[in-house]
């Protein structure tokens, strides 16, 4: 550790640099108009807010919150809200840009946005979290709205959080405003199939990658890093394909069984556990494993579904997976990308692999505006269609241009946004 805290690496700044580097590479490969590139490498709007919260004991804590809108070229802003101590303006800016490319790649009429509060939600009571959410919603309310910027759940936020935002925004506006967020409870106008949408999208992407690699899912093994919403649903849906899940991890550690894990049992355990983690879970044949060793296990499919910057230049040479499907945002650094590509390991990038959530968020937004709701089968069928078409477009472009899937996804997405900007022109 550096003796001077100011000399320590800022993970958010590093993440933003990676996002900017990916955009620059795509712009260069596309020979993009420099004027368009100048617009795309900046945020349209960045808001920093103070979030004072009266704690249960009566004292006031002040947290810092953010909402970033990258560009409005293809429609309203769309992106989650996360609660985590590491949340920073740089991290949120990078995530907003990723949302722009994600929405463009799967062809939903949204642009990229993201928000968050720098806070450890595990240290707050439910009442403190509710007050935090309401004050944060009030603070960002001038720049969000059903036709301008629609938040959604992200790390450490969920449908309950979205319910609080819906109520707060409705009280502020004095009119029913259910379309202000997606990912809210079904009885508040949420869509069926939203809670598992990101994990299902990861599984659909994994299935498409396995098919193109001529691998039989029923003869494959998968490793999942992260056992939150994305990780658990990814594990469940990949398991449904016939793939054996041999290892998973969460903040309590890694759990490995070469014969396969009982994912439903593990999910049930986390729901009843006081810590809501796998801490203390045991089963025959189960072996503890470090997060570092988990990432380098021999397997067919590796799904990093935890935090960004997990596969790096330091461990990419040790990865033994045949396919990597990015469930988290930005889990692989550019240095690792280069190594994995050189080693011939197929990587399905985050802007496609975890786009299931934003696709079903789009479905929810459409249903809310129409006041007409779809069945679970209709949502699932439409999600499959969107994801499979997007995967085909990305894979075909990759073959045509002789580039990696990540480069292909970025180039396609950037070109679509650039086309929209060119058609709209620069105001005034």
> From CA 93, how far away is CA 69, in angstroms rounded?
8
Range list of β-strands (E), 251-290: 253-256, 287-289
Using DSSP, state whether 125 is helix, strand or coil. Answer: coil
> From CA 226, how far away is CA 253, in angstroms rounded?
10
Contacts of range 50-57, beta carbons closer than 8 Å, 24 or more positions apart: 50/139, 51/117, 51/132, 51/135, 51/136, 51/139, 52/135, 53/128, 53/131, 53/132, 53/135, 54/131, 55/128, 56/125, 56/127, 56/128
Active-site residue (options: 78, 102, 114, 322): 114
Nearest-10 crossing angle of helices 405-424, 11-30: 70
Residues 6+ apart with CB under 8 A from 411: 26, 29, 30, 397, 401, 403
- The token duo for 9 is 């690496």
- The token duo for 149 is 């910027």
> From CA 211, how far away is CA 194, in angstroms rounded?
26
Closest to 405 measured CA to CA, from 340, 358, 308, 331: 340
User: Is the separation of the CB atoms in 327 and 230 below 8 Å?
Assistant: yes
Q: Is 114 a catalytic residue?
A: yes
Rg for the chain, CA atoms, rounded: 21
Q: Is the peptide bond before 428 cis (omega within 30 degrees of 0)?
A: yes
- The token duo for 223 is 């490793």
DSSP assignments along 171-204, one per residue: HHHTS--GGG-SS--GGGTPPTT-TTHHHHHHHH
Q: Which residues are 320's β-sheet partners?
A: 298
Residues marked active site are found at 114
């Amino acid at each position: 550790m550096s003796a001077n805290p100011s000399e320590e690496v800022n993970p958010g700044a590093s993440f933003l640099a990676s996002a900017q580097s990916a955009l620059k590479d795509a712009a260069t490969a596309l020979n993009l108009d420099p004027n368009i590139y100048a617009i795309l490498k900046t945020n349209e709007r960045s808001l920093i807010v103070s979030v004072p919260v009266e704690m249960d004991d009566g004292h006031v804590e002040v947290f810092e919150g953010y909402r970033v809108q990258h560009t409005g070229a293809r429609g309203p802003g769309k992106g989650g809200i996360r609660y985590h101590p590491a949340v920073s303006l740089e991290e949120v800016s990078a995530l907003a840009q990723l949302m722009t490319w994600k929405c463009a790649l799967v062809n939903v009429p949204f642009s990229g946005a993201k928000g968050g509060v720098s806070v450890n939600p595990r240290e707050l009571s439910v009442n403190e979290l509710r007050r935090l959410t309401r004050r944060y919603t009030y603070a960002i309310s001038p720049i969000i709205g059903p036709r301008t910027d629609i938040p959604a759940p992200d790390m450490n936020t969920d449908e309950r959080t979205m319910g609080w935002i819906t109520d707060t925004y409705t009280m502020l506006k004095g009119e029913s405003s259910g379309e202000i967020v997606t990912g809210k409870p079904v009885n508040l106008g949420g869509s069926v199939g939203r809670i598992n949408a990101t994990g299902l999208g990861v599984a659909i992407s994994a299935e498409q990658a396995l098919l193109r690699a001529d691998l039989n899912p029923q003869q494959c093994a998968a490793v999942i890093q992260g056992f939150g919403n994305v990780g658990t649903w990814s594990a469940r849906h990949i398991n449904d394909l016939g793939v054996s899940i041999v290892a998973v991890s969460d903040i309590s550690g890694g759990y490995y069984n070469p014969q396969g894990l009982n994912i439903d049992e593990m999910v049930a355990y986390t729901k009843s556990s006081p810590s809501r983690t796998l801490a203390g879970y045991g089963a025959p044949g189960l072996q503890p494993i470090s997060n570092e060793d988990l990432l380098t296990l021999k397997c067919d499919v590796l799904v990093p579904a935890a935090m960004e910057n997990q596969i790096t230049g330091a461990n990419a040479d040790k990865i033994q997976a045949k396919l990597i499907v990015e469930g988290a945002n930005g889990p692989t650094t550019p240095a690792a990308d280069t190594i994995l590509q050189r080693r011939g390991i197929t990587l399905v990038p985050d802007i496609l692999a975890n786009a299931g959530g934003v696709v079903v968020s789009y479905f929810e937004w459409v249903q809310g505006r129409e006041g007409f709701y779809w069945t679970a089968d209709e949502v699932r069928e439409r999600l499959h269609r969107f994801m499979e078409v997007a995967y085909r477009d990305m894979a075909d472009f990759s073959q045509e241009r002789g580039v990696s899937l990540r480069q292909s996804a970025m180039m396609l997405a950037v070109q679509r946004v650039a086309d929209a900007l060119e058609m709209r022109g620069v105001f005034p």
